């Protein structure tokens, strides 16, 4: 900002100069000299002010930046090469079950409580450390180091999400529903390993490929490998019309992921497949062990167009099992699929990375945030050969089909209420008793899960 | 475990493949008025290096007041080479950051100064204030434009040239001190670098005389026309010896030591010397000196070593905190 005095003086000076026709450059006069001196003084004041501003701007460039937004707290070095960012996620759930005679507990649950620390060093090196304080115990969810070579090639080493499930790879904060669909039961969660990945063809094609310790369906590593075998995991994911922003297909993505490995011991088997209400509906017998090849394949798609969003994925998971150390070996193939959709009633864009309200909840000013309605259908089918040798037909379902409806109210980018109603119907294997021995499977699961979420 | 080892080998190969495809990039951190010189020289060197090695090299330039640029390197600006206005600024990098070998001045010929320059006056056309020599600058009402000696190498040469003139004509240090103090009484604006001072004088229309690098004064004539400005050569000035050095630790870390050394060495080549002369830096090779002899006026030049005891002493005496300049200027 220039000195306001200058602006007041300048027009006066200009007028004086204009009113001095008798003064010629080659005929110095006392009046002309005074005007020139005055003009010089003004120019000097202006220039010194300009230099002061330049100096302040240069100094600002060398000062580290502090950023506090609804995306977290960040400290960044002046050159942007080093940064540390703190984010957080807290989800408090209310679970209410209808018509199950108390088989499933109506409860408040601290579903997730995380402090997310991320950072970059020397521009090309990054880290992520995420402890989980929600649930029943404290654990390290993610702990990994990233090395960026160029956009087409980078590496992640440590504990991270295994790149198989579409919905699993989405942030916990931004899925259409409070709970991911039953399909996620069949894909690995966090695992220890090394992963290469990048983006090619002008960002149209993303790929990931890695070697991991290997975890069972729906499982996460407990920070050490449970056997000597490794899983190879890969995923390719394309957004073919990404660079054609006018195309209605600009937000269409599709891909396929797969894993292949060998697992041994009971630790190679799922700890249980869960319903939307987080009740276990299938679990292998405690004597059953994993012994041999396991593989998964998952075609998947995501489509976003304005306020409309849709995801779909299909997973086949195969595991070789024995009923004990010496029993008959069998390859079991479990399958699941889902289609989920959402529509933002208030017009904001649907996004894989969450809905950003055009205006935050502020009743004084008459703004209410963003509202999104959602719907989902999902099915998971257990291999018929699992019963009765490897799992009990009396205490397990062999199929779960779930339908869900939801309303998400985004009060701000960081704060949301989510209301979901799920209804899950169970199927049973031949030979199962007319009434399941598991109380929670004796009727359809009807669950209302309400969530208050803070995510920044 | 075999698979892990195999993967490690593949990853190493991938990284190695990426590294071999990398373009060689140098950062030349220089002082204010050398922009045009190095723009031309960089093109010539890249062509020379490509022909010699087959490698592509791109050179990025950074310009500012010489002292300020040295400070930036000390603070972490990853320069492969520095081409600054005076040796004291490179010495500062040696002392404060230990990024350059202390014997850097022996790395290249002529104390690592591949070209020289001097300080002249640029005045407005017709020289309305009739400025002919240094003693005209201390007259009442004469407005003198020079950058800040605390941040600009050119300004320190200006200061010392004025000091040398006054010492010669007043007979001692006290007289020189009084003279230079009076001169700075006439300085209304202190830019941080020489190019900024040129802007103040030429574009903002401030001041009666600009104390300028010789090449900067010629550039102003070339860009803004002989009808607007003219150069006045004082009776005495100073031989400015802008030095160059490889920033050893940075270059070693980046793997650019060889190309950085070759880059600076090329300044001494026939082509490098010719480009220096063309950009009105005084070349040191006899051939280029002969070719550009008519460009450079002959004048009495003092030197930093003979007349001021070298840059280390001059820096400590005149430009360090609480040195002579601070005493003179803060009084103002």
* Cβ <8 Å between B3 and A232: yes
- Kindly indicate the confidence band of residue B22, based on its pLDDT and cuts at 50, 70 and 90: low
Tell me what the mean pLDDT of segment A189-197 comes to.
96
Chain A positions in Cβ-Cβ contact with residue B1 (cut-off 8 Å): 228
Question: Would you list which residues of chain A are within 8 Å, Cβ to Cβ, of chain B?
Answer: 40, 43-44, 46-48, 51, 55, 62, 79, 149-150, 153, 155, 194, 196, 211, 228, 230, 232
Closest CA relative to residue A133, chosen from A116, A117, A112, A118: A112
Q: Which residues contact B60 (CB under 8 A, 6 or more apart)?
A: B25, B26, B27, B28
Would you state the pLDDT for residue B293? 94
Tell me what the mean pLDDT of segment B295-301 comes to.
92
Neighbouring CB atoms inside 10 A of A170's CB total: 18
Residue A6 has pLDDT above 60, yes or no: no
Domain boundaries, chain A: 4-60, 64-455
Would you state the pLDDT for residue A23? 42
Tell me what the mean pLDDT of segment B45-64 comes to.
94
ipTM for the predicted complex comes to 0.74
Neighbouring CB atoms inside 10 A of B15's CB total: 14
Q: Among partner residues B11, B75, B200, which is closest to A47 by beta-carbon distance?
A: B200
- Kindly indicate the confidence band of residue A37, based on its pLDDT and cuts at 50, 70 and 90: confident
Structure tokens at B100: 């350059």
* Cβ <8 Å between B192 and A228: no
Question: CA-to-CA distance for B280 and B297, rounded, in angstroms?
Answer: 11
Question: CA-to-CA distance for A445 and A408, rounded, in angstroms?
Answer: 21
Q: Among partner residues A62, A150, A194, which is closest to B7 by beta-carbon distance?
A: A194
Give the helix/strand (H/E) hosting B293.
none
* Cβ <8 Å between B206 and A47: yes
Q: Among partner residues B4, B189, B200, which is closest to A211 by beta-carbon distance?
A: B4
Tell me what the mean pLDDT of segment A382-389 comes to.
95
Question: Would you list which residues of chain B are within 8 Å, Cβ to Cβ, of chain A?
Answer: 1, 3-4, 7, 11, 14-15, 18, 75-76, 143, 188-192, 196, 200, 204-207
Would you state the pLDDT for residue A223? 85
Q: Among partner residues A40, A194, A230, which is closest to B206 by beta-carbon distance?
A: A40
- Kindly indicate the confidence band of residue B331, based on its pLDDT and cuts at 50, 70 and 90: low
Residue A13 has pLDDT above 70, yes or no: no
A82 CB-contact burial (10 Å; exposed 0-12 / middle 13-18 / buried 19+): middle
Using a pLDDT cut of 90, give the percent of chain A over it. 76
**B133-151: per-residue pLDDT in tens?**
999 999 999 999 999 999 9
Q: How far is A66 from chain B (nearest CA, A)?
A: 20
Q: Among partner residues A44, A79, A155, which is closest to B11 by beta-carbon distance?
A: A155
Closest CA relative to residue B283, chosen from B321, B253, B242: B242
Please state, in angstroms and as integers, the Cα–Cα distance from residue A112 to each residue in A346, A354, B86, following that order. 28, 17, 61
* Cβ <8 Å between A44 and B206: yes
- Kindly indicate the confidence band of residue A28, based on its pLDDT and cuts at 50, 70 and 90: low
Question: CA-to-CA distance for A382 and A397, rounded, in angstroms?
Answer: 8
Neighbouring CB atoms inside 10 A of B6's CB total: 11
Minimal-distance CA residue of chain B relative to A156: B11
Closest CA relative to residue A120, chosen from A87, A89, A77: A77
Would you state the pLDDT for residue A229? 85
Closest CA relative to residue B210, chosen from B117, B121, B118: B121
Interface test with B, best of A28, A41, A47, A262 (most B CBs within 10 A): A47
CATH topology of domain A64-455: Porin (2.40.160)
**Do residues A164 and A156 touch, judged by C-beta distance below 8 A?**
no
**A104-146: per-residue pLDDT in tens?**
889 999 999 999 999 999 989 999 999 999 988 899 999 999 9
Would you state the pLDDT for residue A325? 82
Chain B positions in Cβ-Cβ contact with residue A47 (cut-off 8 Å): 189, 200, 204, 206
Dihedral (CA of B59, B62, B65, B71) sign: negative
Neighbouring CB atoms inside 10 A of A138's CB total: 10
Interface test with A, best of B187, B189, B192 (most A CBs within 10 A): B189
Counting every residue, how long is chain A? Answer: 456
**A139-178: per-residue pLDDT in tens?**
999 999 999 999 999 999 999 999 999 999 999 999 999 9
First and final C-alpha spacing in chain B: 75
Residue A426 has pLDDT above 80, yes or no: yes
Would you state the pLDDT for residue A8? 54
Q: Which of A18-22, A71-75, A221-225, B183-187: highest mean pLDDT?
A: B183-187
> Which residue segments constitute the domains of chain B, with CATH numbers given?
2-116+241-291 (3.40.190.10), 119-239+299-331 (3.40.190.10)
| Three-state secondary structure call for residue B233 | coil
DSSP letter for each residue of A69-123:
ETTEEEEE-TTSS-EEEEEEEEEEEEEEE-SSTTSS--EEEEEEEEEEEEEEETT
Residue A17 has pLDDT above 50, yes or no: no
Q: List residues bridging with B230 in a β-sheet.
A: B123
Minimal-distance CA residue of chain B relative to A148: B15
Query: Is the model more confident about B46 or about A1?
Result: B46
- A205-240 burial by CB neighbour count: b if 16+ within 10 A, else e? bbbbbbbbbbbbbbbbbeeebbeebbbbbbbebbbe
DSSP B196: H
Tell me what the mean pLDDT of segment B242-248 comes to.
96
Chain B positions in Cβ-Cβ contact with residue A79 (cut-off 8 Å): 76
Residue B9 has pLDDT above 60, yes or no: no
Chain A positions in Cβ-Cβ contact with residue B196 (cut-off 8 Å): 51
Count helices and strands in chain A by DSSP H and E runs: 3, 22
Question: CA-to-CA distance for A128 and A145, rounded, in angstroms?
Answer: 7
* Cβ <8 Å between B204 and A46: yes
Neighbouring CB atoms inside 10 A of A18's CB total: 8
Using a pLDDT cut of 70, give the percent of chain A over it. 94
Structure tokens at B142: 């004469």
Residue A1 has pLDDT above 70, yes or no: no
Closest CA relative to residue A335, chosen from A277, A301, A295, A276: A295
Tell me what the mean pLDDT of segment A359-368 comes to.
94
**A246-265: per-residue pLDDT in tens?**
899 999 999 999 999 998 87
Question: CA-to-CA distance for B109 and A297, rounded, in angstroms?
Answer: 68
| Three-state secondary structure call for residue B315 | helix
Interface test with A, best of B200, B202, B209, B227 (most A CBs within 10 A): B200
Tell me what the mean pLDDT of segment B100-123 comes to.
95
Chain B positions in Cβ-Cβ contact with residue A48 (cut-off 8 Å): 188-189
Residue A232 has pLDDT above 50, yes or no: yes
Tell me what the mean pLDDT of segment A402-412 comes to.
97
Question: CA-to-CA distance for A41 and A25, rounded, in angstroms?
Answer: 19
Closest CA relative to residue B234, chosen from B175, B183, B291, B195: B183
Q: Among partner residues A62, A153, A211, which is closest to B14 by beta-carbon distance?
A: A153
Dihedral (CA of B121, B127, B129, B135) sign: positive
Would you state the pLDDT for residue B295? 92
Would you state the pLDDT for residue A29? 66
Residue A195 has pLDDT above 90, yes or no: yes
DSSP letter for each residue of B102-154:
TTGGGTSHHHH-SEEB-EEEEEETT-TT---SGGGGGSTT--EE---TTT-HH
Q: Which residues contact A14 (CB under 8 A, 6 or more apart)?
A: none
Interface test with B, best of A37, A42, A43, A59 (most B CBs within 10 A): A43
What are all long-range contacts of A438-442, with beta carbons under 8 Å and residues at least 24 apart? A438/A281, A438/A395, A438/A396, A439/A100, A439/A101, A439/A103, A440/A100, A440/A103, A440/A104, A440/A279, A440/A280, A440/A281, A441/A281, A441/A395, A441/A396, A441/A397, A442/A100, A442/A103
Mean pLDDT computed over every residue of chain B? 91
| Three-state secondary structure call for residue A126 | strand
Please state, in angstroms and as integers, the Cα–Cα distance from residue A243 to each residue in A152, A238, A247, following that order. 17, 12, 9
DSSP letter for each residue of A305-334:
ETTEEEEEEEEEEEEEEESSSSS--EEEEE
Residue A3 has pLDDT above 50, yes or no: no
Query: Is the model more confident about B8 or about A61?
Result: A61
């Amino acid at each position: 900002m220039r000195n306001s005095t200058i602006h007041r003086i300048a027009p006066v000076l200009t007028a004086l100069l204009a009113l001095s026709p008798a003064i010629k450059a080659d005929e110095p006069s006392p009046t002309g000299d005074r005007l020139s001196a005055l003009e010089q003084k003004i120019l000097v004041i202006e220039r010194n002010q300009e230099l002061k501003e330049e100096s302040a701007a240069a100094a600002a460039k060398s000062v580290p930046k502090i950023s506090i937004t609804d995306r977290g707290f960040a400290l960044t070095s002046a050159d942007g090469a080093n940064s540390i960012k703190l984010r957080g996620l807290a989800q408090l759930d209310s679970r209410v079950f209808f018509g199950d005679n108390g088989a499933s507990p109506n409860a408040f649950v601290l579903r997730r409580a995380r402090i997310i620390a991320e950072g970059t060093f020397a521009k090309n090196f990054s880290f992520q450390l995420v402890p989980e304080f929600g649930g029943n115990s404290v654990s390290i969810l993610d702990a990994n180091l990233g090395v960026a070579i160029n956009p087409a090639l980078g590496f992640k080493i440590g504990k991270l999400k295994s790149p198989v499930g579409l919905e699993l790879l989405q942030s916990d904060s931004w899925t259409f529903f409070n709970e991911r669909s039953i399909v996620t039961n069949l894909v690995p969660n966090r695992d220890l390993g090394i992963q290469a990945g990048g983006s090619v063809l002008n960002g149209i094609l993303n790929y990931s490929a890695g070697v991991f310790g290997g975890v069972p369906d729906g499982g996460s590593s407990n920070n050490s490998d449970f056997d000597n075998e490794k899983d190879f995991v890969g995923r390719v994911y394309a957004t073919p019309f990404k660079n054609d922003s006018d195309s209605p297909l600009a937000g269409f993505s599709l891909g396929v992921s797969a894993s292949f490995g060998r697992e041994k011991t009971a630790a190679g088997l799922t700890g249980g497949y869960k319903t939307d209400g987080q009740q276990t509906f299938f679990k292998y017998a405690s004597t059953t062990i994993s012994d041999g090849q396991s593989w998964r394949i998952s075609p998947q798609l995501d489509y976003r167009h304005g306020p409309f969003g849709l995801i779909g994925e299909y997973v086949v998971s195969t595991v070789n099992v024995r009923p004990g150390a010496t029993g008959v070996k069998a390859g079991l193939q479990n399958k699941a699929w889902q289609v989920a959709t959402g529509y933002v009633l208030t017009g904001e864009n649907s996004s894989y990375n969450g809905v950003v309200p055009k205006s935050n909840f502020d009743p004084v000013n008459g703004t209410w945030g963003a509202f999104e309605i959602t719907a989902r259908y999902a099915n998971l089918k257990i291999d018929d050969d699992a019963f009765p040798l490897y799992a009990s037909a009396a205490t397990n379902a062999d199929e779960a089909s779930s339908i869900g409806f939801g309303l998400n109210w985004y009060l701000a980018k960081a704060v949301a209420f989510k209301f979901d109603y799920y209804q899950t119907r169970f199927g049973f294997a031949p030979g199962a008793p007319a009434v399941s021995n598991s109380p929670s499977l004796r009727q359809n699961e009807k669950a209302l899960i309400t969530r208050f979420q803070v995510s920044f | 475990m075999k698979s892990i080892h195999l993967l490690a080998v593949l990853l190493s190969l991938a990284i190695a493949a990426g590294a071999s495809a990398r373009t060689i990039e140098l950062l030349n951190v220089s002082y204010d008025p050398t922009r045009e010189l190095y723009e031309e020289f960089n093109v010539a060197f890249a062509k020379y290096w490509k022909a010699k090695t087959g490698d592509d090299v791109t050179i990025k330039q950074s310009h500012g007041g010489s002292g300020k640029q040295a400070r930036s390197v000390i603070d972490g600006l990853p320069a492969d080479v520095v081409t600054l206005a005076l040796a004291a600024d490179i010495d500062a990098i040696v002392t404060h950051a230990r990024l350059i070998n202390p014997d850097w001045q022996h790395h290249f010929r002529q104390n690592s100064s591949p070209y020289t320059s001097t300080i002249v006056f640029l005045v407005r056309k017709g020289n309305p204030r009739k400025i002919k020599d240094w003693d005209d600058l201390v007259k009442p009402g004469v407005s003198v434009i020079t950058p800040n000696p605390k941040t600009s190498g050119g300004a320190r040469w200006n200061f010392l040239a004025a000091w040398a003139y006054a010492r010669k004509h007043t007979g001692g240090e006290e007289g020189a001190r009084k003279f230079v103090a009076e001169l700075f009484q006439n300085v209304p604006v202190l830019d941080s670098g020489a190019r900024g001072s040129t802007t103040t004088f030429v574009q903002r229309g401030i001041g009666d005389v600009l104390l300028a690098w010789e090449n900067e004064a010629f550039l102003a004539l070339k860009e803004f026309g002989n009808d607007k400005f003219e150069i006045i050569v004082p009776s005495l000035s100073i031989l400015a010896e802008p030095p160059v050095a490889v920033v050893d630790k940075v270059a070693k870390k980046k793997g650019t030591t060889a190309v950085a050394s070759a880059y600076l060495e090329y300044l001494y080549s026939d082509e490098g010397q010719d480009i220096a002369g063309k950009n009105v830096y005084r070349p040191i090779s006899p051939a280029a000196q002969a070719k550009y002899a008519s460009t450079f006026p002959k004048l009495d030049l003092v030197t930093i070593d003979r007349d001021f005891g070298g840059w280390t002493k001059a820096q400590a005496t005149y430009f360090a905190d609480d040195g002579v300049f601070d005493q003179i200027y803060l009084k103002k």
